[in-house]
Amino acid sequence: MSETLIIFDTTLRDGEQSPGASMTRDEKVRIAKALERMRVNVIEAGFPIASPGDFEAVKAVAGQVKGSAVCGLARALDKDIDRAAEALKEAASPRIHTFIATSPIHMERKLRMSPDQVVEQAVRAVKRARRYTDDVEFSPEDAGRSDIDFLCRVIEAVIDAGAGTVNIPDTVGYSLPERFGAVVAKLIEKVPNSDKAVFSVHCHNDLGLAVANSLSAVVNGARQVECTINGLGERAGNASLEEIVMAVRTRQDVFAVDVALDTTQIVHCSRLVSNITGFPVQPNKAIVGANAFAHESGIHQDGVLKSRETYEIMRAEDVGWSANRMVLGKHSGRNAFRARLSELDVVFNSEEDLNAAFARFKDLADKKHEIYDEDLQALVTDTHLLSEHERFKLISMKVCSETGETPTAALTLRMDGEETSATCPGSGPVDAAFRAIESIVESGCNLQLYSVNNITSGTDAQGEVTVRLEKRGRIVNGQGADTDIVIASAQAYIHGLNKMLASTSRTHPQV
Ligand code: KIV
Ligand code: ZN
């Protein structure tokens, strides 16, 4: 039996630090539930002191996730640690993750503190966090550019103070695999009390080496990896969870550890995060890209048909690429609908929510013959979206698009209970629809991103649209899904507007 590699997911914290990836509390809870279902060991839910919205999100995740440890980030400051502890009060397994920078450049120029002061503050922070929970993690920020002897000194001190996990962050993505692995090995060897803590790594992808650096650290003794779904994260992102997990699982001949995750949930989590943040997954992305298991060349296709292992090192179904399974149809009833969604871990808060989702399912089943799991997921996402903070609602829309003519959109919106109509031309039908909405709402938002993905294959598939709206530095993502992509686009835009004007939307937190 090999040891378990602890998978620490920070999509909701470091992932959210990607410009434009801001999430609402409810979106964070949905992602956290999907991570829990995948059996991720630790979920870093946010940075409670960063904003009231982040505090509420960590609190909500702590209240609803019981199968994974829930972690809150805190600088090595009393007020940060107290706030993190407050947010984590309801967690079944709370973890406080505290950090302070240890590289010369950060200590001198950012913190303006001496190395002695940094050690003292790190120890104080760990001790304070231990008042609230036995599960305390410490990170020497910018460890990748820190002096190794100083790192040994800080790490020994924080382990003595009660840190059970010591995380080595390559904050700026500067490290190279062989050297980074050697640093981890050296720290474990030189720190006298290293056996009292789990060594972890947290790698950024500025040189495209986050996964390679993390895996090299695992070979050299790290037993926790911090990573994010789709590699989301600050700047070029973090190490991608799906790549770490599948590398360890696939190369059991190399790694002395294995992961305890349900890997069949990977594709679902990837889609969910992509949909909520509006960050598309590139088709050739390892594991979760649409082409990750597609063979184009004749020689490869022939080989795979004769024996799959000739060109495939993993099975698509092991990461959740199922052949789209038809689960429900036009004649399925409410109970079958509820039962299938509960198998997908979707629980309705009220009968009203269930009825709204079921009504949308019936509408969809009229338009689309075969309803797959992916359709159901988009549909309940949509129901969540609609019920979340609905100030504006699309009542009807008519779009004219004809060769040689300017497209126009005529639509009626309900705004704060009152119906208003508008007709606008545009360079295309989607542009016309957005202009018509804006002529009614006059939000002043800038459209930063517009993306369309098909949920399943075929021309009758639902289109899933994400828009990113910006207003005075605040960024929100809106989503919509429909078999008609112009309607899906209008819904996504309206969803974005509803979020922009709701109190739970917030600006991007700053570390
Ligand atoms: O990149 C980093 O150093 C971090 C720390 C807070 C762990 O995200
Ligand atoms: Zn980071």
Give the C-alpha separation, 406 to 429, whole Å.
9
> 60-69 burial string, b = 16+ CB within 10 Å, else e?
bbbbebeebb
What is the CA(287)–ligand 1 centre distance, in A?
25
Of all ligands present, the nearest one to the C-alpha of 168 is: 1
Return the DSSP state at 112.
-
What is the CA(303)–ligand 2 centre distance, in A?
41
Q: Is the pLDDT of residue 194 over 50?
A: yes
What is the mean predicted confidence (pLDDT) over 238-263?
97
Ligand 1 atom showing the smallest separation from residue 17 Cα: 8
Q: What pLDDT is stored for residue 503 in this prediction?
A: 46
Return the DSSP state at 372.
E
Of all ligands present, the nearest one to the C-alpha of 73 is: 1
From atom 5 of ligand 1, which residue's Cα is the shortest distance away? 141
Q: Pairing mode, if any, of strands 408-415 and 6-9?
A: unpaired
From atom 2 of ligand 1, which residue's Cα is the shortest distance away? 171
Q: What pLDDT is stored for residue 388 in this prediction?
A: 53
Task: Evaluate whether 230 touches 244 at the Cβ level (below 8 Å).
Answer: no
pLDDT band at 245; cut points 50, 70, 90: very high
Strand blocks (E) in 10-164: 42-46, 69-75, 94-101, 136-141
Q: Which residues pair with 421 in a beta bridge?
A: 412
Q: What pLDDT is stored for residue 386 in this prediction?
A: 53
What is the CA(282)–ligand 1 centre distance, in A?
25
Of 97-111, 180-194, 212-226, 330-344, minimum mean pLDDT range: 330-344
Q: What is the pLDDT of residues 372-405, one digit of tens each?
A: 777 787 777 655 555 556 789 999 999 999 999 9
Ligand 1 neighbours by CB, cut-off 6 Å = 14, 99, 139, 141, 169, 171, 202, 204
Q: What pLDDT is stored for residue 296 in this prediction?
A: 65
Q: What pLDDT is stored for residue 265 in this prediction?
A: 94
Q: What is the pLDDT of residues 135-180, one digit of tens each?
A: 999 999 999 999 999 999 999 999 999 999 999 999 999 999 999 9
Of all ligands present, the nearest one to the C-alpha of 233 is: 2
**Length of the chain measured in residues:** 511
Ligand 1 atom showing the smallest separation from residue 511 Cα: 6
Of all ligands present, the nearest one to the C-alpha of 167 is: 1
Q: Which residues pair with 410 in a beta bridge?
A: 398, 423
Ligand 1 atom showing the smallest separation from residue 226 Cα: 7
What is the CA(238)–ligand 2 centre distance, in A?
7
> Measuring CA to CA, how many Å separate 298 from each of 242, 286, 295, 306?
28, 21, 8, 12
Ligand 1 atom showing the smallest separation from residue 14 Cα: 8
What is the CA(204)–ligand 2 centre distance, in A?
6
Ligand 1 atom showing the smallest separation from residue 10 Cα: 8
Radius of gyration of the CA atoms of the chain, in A = 24
Strand blocks (E) in 184-266: 198-203, 224-227, 257-258
Cα angle value 498/500/506 (rounded, 5°): 130
Q: Please report how many Cα atoms fall inside a 13 Å half-sphere around the Cα of residue 124, on the Cβ side.
A: 14
Task: Evaluate whether 468 touches 476 at the Cβ level (below 8 Å).
Answer: yes
From atom 1 of ligand 1, which residue's Cα is the shortest distance away? 171
221: left (phi > 0), else alpha (psi -120 to 50), else beta?
Answer: left
Give the C-alpha separation, 274 to 132, whole Å.
34
Q: Is the pLDDT of residue 333 over 60?
A: yes
What is the CA(159)–ligand 1 centre distance, in A?
19
> Structure tokens of 160?
């003595």
Helices (H), 70-147: 78-87, 104-105, 115-132
What is the mean predicted confidence (pLDDT) over 205-232?
98
Q: What pLDDT is stored for residue 504 in this prediction?
A: 42
Model confidence pTM above 0.75 = yes
Ligand 1 atom showing the smallest separation from residue 139 Cα: 7
Mean pLDDT of the chain: 90
Of 100-104, 250-254, 290-294, 375-379, minimum mean pLDDT range: 375-379
Q: What is the pLDDT of residues 21-54, one digit of tens each?
A: 888 898 899 999 999 999 999 999 999 999 999 9
Q: Which residues pair with 137 in a beta bridge?
A: 97, 165
